[in-house]
Amino acid sequence: MGDKKLEETISEPGRGGSKRAALIVVAVVVALVAAGLGIWFAVSRPTEPGRADVARLDKQRVIVDNSMNLYDPLVQQFSGRYSNAISEKAGQAEVDKILSQDRERIVRESQANRDRLEHMAESPALQGQGVADSFNRFKDQYGAVIAYNDQLVINTTNIYRSVGGPCAALHSSLNVASESYAQDYVKSADECLAALGTAKDGADAETTTLLTEVEAVIRGQRDKQQEVLDSKDTFERLSKSTIAGLALLDINDAFAKAQTTYETATKDKYSKIIESANSSNSEFEGVLQKSLEQFDAASGEGK
């Protein structure tokens, strides 16, 4: 009995110490969790935008706006080099090299601008509803300019590959006085029509309309030359050949009309896109400047 009480007496301080240790551990854990929550709350809590945020956003706006000026020379360089390579029959390897190099420059510029717009979208300055709405319009309109230029590369490539490629041979390489002219024309026309059909893939509405109109002209001429080949006798062949030859006199007018329609439509489309982009830029600039003026007035710098 005495020994048992002694053991219980000795064990009591140990149990008391364990409870205190457990309480200390719990207290430490609670403190750490509370501290962690405090840090998380402080970090995650949105901070009020400062003047520097607005000024930085305005500088980014200027960079994006200025970068739009790079597209025209890049597209013109590509168009000139690519069309020359095709017209001069530089060879498929050279044509593909130009397409790869020049198109890559435009693609890189477009991606850089998209990245700039996405980076701007993360600005604390956009917490204000007015600034956010103005930026969204800016982003949408400048995104439309970027998309237009990306599409322009596709349109230009498709037009030169077809109209400037297989189709060009119809009225530049064939000998009208040759006895095999009708046969040569039909063969070349079939190659041209196949190229025009492929060129419509990925093209926009205006370019598709142009290619369709050119296709109709070529198909009409091709069918007339096929009638010459299908003639049963010399007289009919001569008659059909004369009709086909007279039809060729109108082909330039038909092409000119299609080209004028295309140029008018694309110019109008581009003008509207640029006008909308410039308008959104002016609006966004005005909103940011007003915000900067408010910061200056609040700090007394505007006095």
What pLDDT, in 10s, does the model give residues 147-167? 999 999 999 999 998 998 889
> What is the token pair recorded at 50?
């400062």
Alpha-carbon distance 128 to 133, whole Å?
9
CA dihedral (224, 227, 233, 234) in degrees, to 10, reads 20
For helices 71-87 and 92-120, the axis angle rounded to 10 degrees is 170
Q: Between 96 and 188, name the one with better pLDDT.
A: 188
- Judged against a pLDDT cut of 50, whether residue 52 lies above it is answered with yes
Spatial CA neighbour of 144 closest among 110, 119, 112: 110
Split at pLDDT 50, 70, 90, the class of 245 is: confident
8 A C-beta contact, residue 196 and residue 162: yes
Alpha-carbon distance 137 to 173, whole Å?
51
pLDDT of residue 111: 95
**Number of residues in the chain:** 303
Alpha-carbon distance 161 to 95, whole Å?
10
8 A C-beta contact, residue 75 and residue 152: yes
- Judged against a pLDDT cut of 60, whether residue 13 lies above it is answered with no
Q: Between 9 and 125, name the one with better pLDDT.
A: 125
- pTM (two decimals): 0.77
pLDDT of residue 175: 81
- Judged against a pLDDT cut of 80, whether residue 237 lies above it is answered with yes
> What is the token pair recorded at 151?
């599409």
Stretch 185-193: mean pLDDT: 95
